Amino acid sequence: MMMSEQFNEQFSERPFNRLLLTGAAGGLGRVLRERLKPWTKILRLSDIVDIENVVAGEEAQTCDLADRAGVFELLKDVDAVLHFGGISVEDKFEPIMQANILGMYHLYEAVHKLGIKRVIYASSSHVVGFYRTTEQVNADSPLRPDGFYGLSKCFGEALSRYYYDRFGIETVCLRIGSSFPEPKNARMMVTYLSYDDLLELLRAALFTPKVGHSIVFGVSDNQAKWWDNSKAAHLGFKPSDSSQVFATRFAAAFNSVDEHDPAIIYQGGPFVLAGPQYSE
Ligand code: NAI
Ligand code: 15L
């Protein structure tokens, strides 16, 4: 039995009335849509694109995060927000600004004005992508974003810090590494976060009684490590999986790396090179 199943067994009734999941049509949103239901009577699903095949226990609300009135409508009667919506890779500044910067501002204004107490924010390891792969990073390390996308996640982390310091709204910023069914390349042997471990991370972020403003790296218990989660020990996040089960696939890639390639030198991998192609 998975840890999250053991955890779910203790509820005689679902602990939340209504959780909101943004980015629900995306890669992680589709995974979480299935897995969050034991925690909430109603799961409100939102994305800029329509949510399909809505079933009992779900509500769907299409919303562009750049639309302030729409975001306020979206957040009505919500207990907590799992914010996974937005641009998820490097892009031009303008769409990133609309979805990830303006959208974050709208979200937190609505959270504040509607009295919502906690947000779980899908940040990214690309807030520190310009550290070298030989370096260790923790939640207090200075930010070193690797592009406009990483910069927008830095903004999200700082914005949520402000709303905690000023208004007491709790946020857990998840600096997710690479959360896919399995690692796609040698870099992801270090950055991989399994879906089960992602769920365990969300459990820790949602159910730890007091989180204040926390930053935690979303990464499985992989053999090679760049990120030190000791500053987030209060969350009690303990990953169970490891990318090591996929190791044989990438053994050849490790032996043939170009040590002068920035995508190899820096933790952000190919993201460190992507920026200039999007600048106007
Ligand atoms: P994704 O790109 O598959 O999903 C993002 C969703 O946000 C999409 O369905 C998209 O339609 C929606 N969206 C985009 N612009 C929007 C807007 N203006 N208003 C409302 N919705 C909008 O990305 P994925 O992989 O599911 O990631 C989810 C979140 O987790 C993202 O915020 C991403 O930055 C973050 N993340 C994901 C990682 C991963 O390995 N999958 C790693 C690090 C961070
Ligand atoms: C991210 O932040 C992206 O959202 C995701 O698509 C992956 O590219 C991931 O980082 C990564 O670094 O592998």
Q: For the chain, how many structural domains are there in total?
A: 1
**67 compared with 280, residue with greater pLDDT:** 67
What mean pLDDT comes out for the span 199-206?
A: 98
**pLDDT reported for residue 277:** 80
Atom 4 in ligand 1: residue holding the nearest Cα: 26
**pLDDT reported for residue 13:** 85
Mutate to test the pocket of ligand 1, among 88, 100, 184, 199 (most ligand atoms within 8 A of CB): 88
| Residues annotated catalytic, as ranges | 149
**43 compared with 279, residue with greater pLDDT:** 43
State yes or no: pLDDT of 104 exceeds 90.
yes
**pLDDT reported for residue 47:** 98
Atom 7 in ligand 2: residue holding the nearest Cα: 178
Instruction: Quickly state the pLDDT bin for 165 (edges 50, 70, 90).
Output: very high
**pLDDT reported for residue 7:** 79
Q: Which atom of ligand 1 is nearest to the CA of 100?
A: 18
Tens digits of residue pLDDT in 241-259: 999 999 999 877 766 678 8
Among 37-51, 164-178, 191-205, 239-253, where is mean pLDDT lowest? Answer: 239-253
Task: Please give the share of the chain, as a percent, with pLDDT higher than 90.
Answer: 87
What mean pLDDT comes out for the span 196-218?
A: 98
**pLDDT reported for residue 1:** 63
Tens digits of residue pLDDT in 146-159: 999 999 999 999 99
**pLDDT reported for residue 251:** 77
Atom 1 in ligand 1: residue holding the nearest Cα: 26
What mean pLDDT comes out for the span 42-64?
A: 97
State yes or no: pLDDT of 11 exceeds 80.
no
What mean pLDDT comes out for the span 209-215?
A: 98
User: Which domain CATH number covers 44?
Assistant: 3.40.50.720
What mean pLDDT comes out for the span 255-273?
A: 87
Query: Which residue is it, tokens 């020990």?
Result: 233
Question: How close is the Cα of 176 to the center of ligand 2, in Å?
Answer: 8
Q: Which atom of ligand 2 is nearest to the CA of 184?
A: 13
Which residue range(s) make up the domain with 257?
3-278
**pLDDT reported for residue 155:** 98
Instruction: Quickly state the pLDDT bin for 3 (edges 50, 70, 90).
Output: low
Instruction: Quickly state the pLDDT bin for 2 (edges 50, 70, 90).
Output: low
Question: How close is the Cα of 85 to the center of ligand 1, in Å?
Answer: 5
Atom 35 in ligand 1: residue holding the nearest Cα: 122
Residue 184 CA: which ligand is closest? 2
State yes or no: pLDDT of 4 exceeds 80.
no
Residue 87 CA: which ligand is closest? 1
What mean pLDDT comes out for the span 261-275?
A: 91
**pLDDT reported for residue 58:** 97
Mutate to test the pocket of ligand 1, among 28, 105, 267 (most ligand atoms within 8 A of CB): 28
**pLDDT reported for residue 135:** 97
Q: What is the pTM of this model?
A: 0.96
Mean pLDDT taken over the chain: 95
